[in-house]
Structure 1
Amino acid sequence: MSLAKELTISYLRDKYEAGALSPQEVMATIVDRSIADADMNIWITPPTMDAIQPYLDRLASLSKADAPLWGIPFAIKDNIDLAGVPTTAGCAEYAFTPDEHAGVVERLIAAGAIPVGKTNLDQFATGLVGTRSPYGDAHNALRPELISGGSSSGSAVSVARGQVAFSLGTDTAGSGRVPAALNRLVGYKPSLGAWPTKGVVPACASLDCVTVFAHTLADALVVDSVARGVHAEDPWSRSVVRKPSGLPERVCLPAGDLGFYGPYASEYRAAWEQAVSRLQEVCLRDGVQIVEIDVTVFAQAAAILYEGPWVAERWAALGSFIEANPGVAYLVTEQILRSGAASEYDAASVFVAMHKLQQYKLEARKLLQDAVLVMPTCGGTWTREQVLADPISTNRDMGRYTNHCNLLDLCAVAVPAGDAAPETPFGITLFALAEEEGMICGAAALLAGSDAAAVEVAAASAGAKASSSADSAALAQTTLVAVCGLHMRGYPLEKQMQGCGARFIREDESAAKYSLVKLPTSPAKPGMIKQQQGGAAIQLEIWEMPLEAFGGFTAAIPAPLGIGKVELRDGTEVPGFVCEAYAAAGAEDVTALRSWRNVVPPL
């Protein structure tokens, strides 16, 4: 059977379930497609069956029901680590071969996804055009004479050309959104820290996000459900829960005329006006208020990124390499990086900019309370030749409506919004406050002609762990699980949790009603036993697991352990590991230590 040109998670899972396709067949076709598109400069490490085969072999040990991305091919931007494969960041002289996967990559592989290769990028993730690579400028997936967008150029084009179902990019100034718009894709940029950046070559470490490109929002949310969560080894990681998709009270549009640029400026303006008309129509239908707002504060924040001391953060990350290897980097990239060493970017200037930005964040938070902001993702596009002839100003234009996002701690999703000209996609981006990712998902679904619930259900049917709450029990696809021993992070059975598609949520502790014993097993295991009187608060980890995996996981737990209701310190109860009381007779009481980490430290 032939493979569809447009690969989605739901399509592949359906074919696998029906026996109509095998992962081996899918990967073989992907290799053929990459060879056919070799002159488009999509890959730095292209797909080969020899490299892919170990991941295919591993599928035999994973249950399809327990691995939400079983057999799903994905691409990795080549500033994100894949163990055993060089990370170049678009510069061969910088390259190194990591021993470990990046945090996000590790989670995706644990969920059954198949990494097929490393994609081209604007060198050191510095650019929004896709032409700043010594590996060649990545061609647009639809019109090769146009730019692909950057810096995550190859990642976007690999999805658009049917070589993967989704891909990982990074986003500091818009690199997870601009290529989506130019290649007719969805580009999902989670809130800062929601996905770990461990194993990512930093551009601006305080602003960097790992992102996903996909054909549908539902597919992006499948990936989000696996990738999201605090990583113990990532100092930038934080807990940001994506709420269920829902509509905002207001949709905000920029007041006044917007600027458009490039050879298709008039077509882009017309496409924006058409998108606004469509937005007004669906908001009126669904009772969402549309308001126009002054977006000056967003432009002011955007200006700080490249006209302020944040360029020095790039220099802090890469300056020592550039100084030790002058002339090795792509010319325009080295010029931009060296600008971060300018004398005006002293310590005082950093604090002045930080204080100014804090005021901008406050103003943006007031404007976007219970609201979503909609802007064009790009105000135009360029031919590759035009960008090569004028690399600075053309690149600056591409970030006009994107640069503010991470500085202001916003989440964003870029979605297609028709074509500006034949085979010349136009896209819009929806922005919201960091804790309101559900709003951009709901609003994006509205524009696509779906409702918020339909997006969550579509994501869940493809294997996602859709977010849930008491008020959305009908959509609940996951359960919280309290773990207190070998399933915690850093212990041998952590990979069992990840293999079930579970993700770490937070550290917590039980109510002060439990004893903790060390069971005489090999290896030693903890047993938590609730007491009628007395007891202590035991430190726990709270994970979220797909319900479809929960039954099999529970059935495999050996006695005297099991899953029961664990009372947390705030009085709520969640499913979690408990131990039958009889086991205490032959076990060592370690309650006083209050944590298994204090009994048997992790490896």
Structure 2
Amino acid sequence: MSEFPLHLTIEWLKEHYQKGLTTPIEVINEIIARSNRDKAMNIWITPPNLDVIKPYLDRLESLDPSDTPLWGIPFAIKDNIDLKDVPTTAGCEEFTYIPKVHASVVELLVHAGAIPIGKTNMDQFATGLVGTRSPYGETHNAIRGDLISGGSSSGSAVAVAKGQAAFALGTDTAGSGRVPAALNNLIGFKPSLGAWSKKGVVPACESIDSVSVFAHGLGDALLVDQQLRFKDPTDPWSKEFPGPYASRPKKICLPKNPLKFYGSYEEDYKEAWRKAVDRIKELDIPIEYVDIHLFTKAAEILYSGPWIAERWAALGEFVDSHPHATHPVTEKVLRSGASDRYDAASLFHAMHKLQVLKREAEDLLSNNVLIMPTCGGTWTREQVRRDPVATNSHMGEYTNHCNLLDMAAIAVPGREATQKIPFGITLFSLSDQEGLMIEVADRLLKQSKNETNRNPVARLEEEMTYFVVCGLHMRGYPLEKQMIESGATFIKEETTSPSYQLVKLSGYPSKPGLIKKTDSGASIEVEIWKMPLKSLGKFTTSIPAPLGIGKVELQDGRELPGFICEGYAEHLAEDISQFGGWKNLQPLI
């Protein structure tokens, strides 16, 4: 049996399983021992238990590791996300129910071979950013025990940071999937709203709730994302979001306004942010300093506007009918949403104001990435007890705007503000441009001494390449099977730059050719796929002249490998550029 590292990662586990150096049952036994050792940290509500975990271990015997990307990987679940036959409490014992089925996200992970190991502690009803609002005890910080863990996904973050899970599911409404990441030196990935299903998740503020993931490396977080990204027909909030692919943004946006920091470590946080900005400037991406007041205005709407009434709509009946069951601070926050001031007119006023802010954010961040500190400060648990509302508010200074403005985010660990005082930054993108923040996060992690998962995206990209197709290899056409046989997966639909000619080549079956022009051209609809590099060579040999492989320029200026056509074919083929794509000329029947 191999000696276990302090931090469990998907990469380490896969490697050691493959080499026969450890087994899933050995990993689970180590996790149970660690959870018992750290019991006083209040990480778990339903801790790892072999009787509960054993059916998932036994199931691995019928699964092929090569077909199940998360085979044998242990993960933790925030206790507002359903795990079949295990109590869901949302941090409130009297709220407890036993779900008959998994939440959709849990079902997908189990299908991929992952092992659910337990339910983690949380700020009650996912209302809080500090990790102290739980009747199951205050979750301790993984780095320095007297500090707050961050919340509301407190136990999920600390479980990963203490090596009791390779990754963990949290939820994020106002920063709960990012603040605990920053305070425990983790990656916190919050996808675009609707990209991951919320079916089987206890709502906090349902219209802007999101499931999130904590991990030690960006590559691990993105592997989880690959399993969870789909449009769930059982979830009315679910949307179709193609998997993101890393790409360089035009600019990085940084705040030009002086930033506020709070608490005993205010000056340390200021200096940590200054140093983070210096490192961001080294990324060779243009910097623009922007006014962040629009994000502040959006954040104010979350708790000082009618969205707080959405929390009361979800939980008010329970709170009223179960006196003294709710944590006092949580109840105070929830009851603020029952106020008469939030009538229908105030809701529409807020919606209209928010829509203006959304448009401003879209104009500012199109093809760009915004970077801000993750937290406004940090505190000891004792300090939060003395002032629970103000400390929580300051904690969310740079997080609360995100979901209201329909943005995606990645929290990345930075260098310590001072000894054993964690600090982190968050990268934001528009909901349909997640790949931009992934690219910047990858560059920062490669640069950082705190990196714990060696060059995570680079590791993925060494094995895979993006590939542009424009004809018979697209989805639904006869040669799609060649893409699938090569191990390729569809990513998204795209459009080329307006510099191409599309021709219909002679022969049977009819197929198109994409020719780049130097003078004039058109934008052509294409598809982006991801293909294993080891398959590309064999795939290339099957391509008949005049087709070949080269770089295809996309509408946003990026260049990716893909099908191109030699220029001489222009004189032997029919120009079909006016159709704008092969699907418009040869639609599927």
TM class by smaller structure: 0.7 to 0.9
Distance 2:166 2:475 in 1: 30
Alignment of 1:415-494 (within 5 A): 415-449=412-446, 455-459=456-460, 468-470=466-468
Q: Which residue of 1 aligns with 2:562?
A: none
Partner of 1:377: 374
SS in 1 for 2:99: coil
Query: Secondary structure of the residue that 2:105 maps to in structure 1?
Result: helix
Alignment match, 1:299: 296
Matched, 1:398 2:395: yes
Query: 1:259-285: CA deviations, max 9, x gaps?
Result: 0111111111100000000111223xx
Report the identity percentage.
Answer: 54
The letter for the 1-side match of 2:317 is S
Cα distance, 1:290 vs structure 2: 0.3
Letter in 2 for 1:100: V
* Aligned-pair CA distance for 1:459: 3.9
* Structure 2 match to 1:236: 237
Would the aligned equivalents of 2:218 and 2:457 in 1 still touch at CA under 8 Å?
A: no
* TM-score when normalising by structure 2: 0.80
Question: 1:146/1:192 Cα in 2 relative to 1: closer, same or farther (>3 Å)?
Answer: same
Gaps of 5+ in 1: 473-478, 484-496, 507-530, 533-541, 551-566, 575-593, 595-603
Question: Greater RCO between the two (CA within 8 Å, min separation 6)?
Answer: 1
1: distance between equivalents of 2:531 and 2:31? 29
* 1:355 alignment counterpart: 352
Question: What does 1:175-194 correspond to in 2, within 5 Å?
Answer: 175-194=176-195
Which residue in 2 is equivalent to 1:585? Answer: none
Does the CA-based 8 Å contact 2:153-2:171 persist in structure 1? yes
Which residue in the other structure is 2:216 paired with? 215
The aligned runs of 1:119-158 (5 Å cut-off) are 119-158=120-159
Deviation of residue 568 (structure 1)?
A: 10
Given that residues 252 and 373 in structure 1 are in contact (C-alpha distance below 8 angstroms), is that contact kept between their aligned partners in structure 2? yes
* 1:91 corresponds to: 92
* Distance in structure 2 (CA, Å) of the matches to 1:471 and 1:148: 47
CA distance in 2, matches of 1:154, 1:134: 13
The yes-or-no answer on 1:202 pairing with 2:203 is: yes
Pairs aligned (count): 496
Structure 2 unpaired stretches of 5+: 449-453, 478-483, 494-508, 511-526, 536-580
In structure 2, the residue matched to 1:69 is: 70
Alignment of 1:3 onto 2:1: no
Give the CA deviation at 1:323.
Answer: 1.2
Residue in 2 that maps onto 1:172: 173
Check if 1:328 corresponds to 2:329.
Answer: no
Give SS of 2:295's match.
helix
TM-score after normalising by structure 1: 0.78
8 Å CA contact 1:229–1:503 kept in 2: the answer is no
Q: Is the 8 A contact 1:229 1:505 kept in 2?
A: no
User: Which one of 374, 378, 389 corresponds to residue 386 of structure 2?
Assistant: 389
Could you tell me which amino acid in structure 2 is paired with residue 254 of structure 1?
P
Cα separation, 1, equivalents of 2:460 and 2:76: 20
Asked whether 1:13 is paired with 2:10, we answer no
2:446, 2:455 within 8 Å by CA — same for their partners in 1? no
Offset of 1:242 from its aligned partner? 3.1
Deviations 1:235-261 (A, max 9, x none): 000011233101111000001310011
**Change beyond 3 A, Cα 1:164–1:361:** same
* SS of equivalent residue, structure 1 residue 26: helix
1:268 and 2:285 matched = no
Deviation for aligned residue 1:457? 4.8
How far residue 300 of structure 1 moved from its aligned partner, in angstroms, is 0.1
Partner deviation per Cα, 1:161-192 (whole Å, 9 max, x = no partner):
00000000000000000000000000000000
Residues 471/140 of structure 1: CA separation in 2 closer, same or farther (3 Å cut): farther
Structure 1 CA distance, aligned partners of 2:94 and 2:180? 26
> Displacement of 1:85 after TM fit?
0.4
Cα pair 1:68 1:501 within 8 Å, conserved: no
- Displacement, 1:446? 1.3
Q: Say whether the 8 Å CA contact 1:172–1:203 is kept in structure 2.
A: yes
C-alpha displacement of 1:301: 0.2
Displacement of 1:215 in angstroms is 0.4
**Alignment partners' CA distance in 1, 2:584 and 2:84:** 41
Distance 2:53 2:277 in 1: 44
Q: Report SS of the residue matched to 2:207.
A: coil
Counterpart AA for 1:9: I
Conserved? CA contact 1:138–1:148, under 8 Å: yes
Helix, strand or coil: the match of 1:206? helix
Supply the AA of the counterpart residue of 2:418.
A
Q: Distance in 1 between matches of 2:531 and 2:204?
A: 34
- Cα deviation 1:369-415 (Å, max 9, x = unaligned): 11100000012100000101111000000000000000000000000
In structure 2, the residue matched to 1:408 is 405
In structure 2, C-alpha distance between the alignment counterparts of 1:460 and 1:23, rounded to whole Å: 27
Label 1:546 to 1:384 Cα distance change in 2 as closer, same or farther (>3 A): farther
Q: 1:514 is matched with which residue?
A: none
Matched-pair contact (CA < 8 Å) for 2:132–2:381:
yes
Aligned residue among 313, 318, 324 for 1:316: 313
What's the RMSD between the two structures over aligned residues? 3.0
Contact 1:244 1:467 in 2 (8 A): no
Contact 2:491 2:530 (C-alpha < 8 Å) held by counterparts: no
The alpha-carbon deviation at position 121 of structure 1 amounts to 0.2
How big is the shift at 1:458?
2.4
Q: Residue 105 of structure 2 corresponds to which residue in structure 1? A: 104
Deviation at 1:569, TM superposition (A): 6.4
Structure-2 change in CA distance of 1:17 and 1:410 (3 Å) = same
Q: Using the TM superposition, give the Cα deviation of residue 460 of structure 1 relative to its aligned residue in structure 2, in angstroms.
A: 6.8
Q: Is the 1:75–1:168 Cα contact (8 Å) retained in structure 2?
A: yes
Note closer, same or farther for the CA distance 1:301–1:150 as it changes in structure 2 (3 Å cut): same
User: Over residues 189-217 of structure 1, what are the superposed CA-to-partner deviations in whole Å (9 max), with x where a residue is unaligned?
Assistant: 00000000000000011100000000011
Separation in 2, partners of 1:49, 1:232: 33
Distance 1:505 1:171 in 2: 26
Q: 2 CA distance for matches of 1:125 and 1:154?
A: 12
Contact 1:79–1:200 (CA<8 Å) still a contact in 2? yes
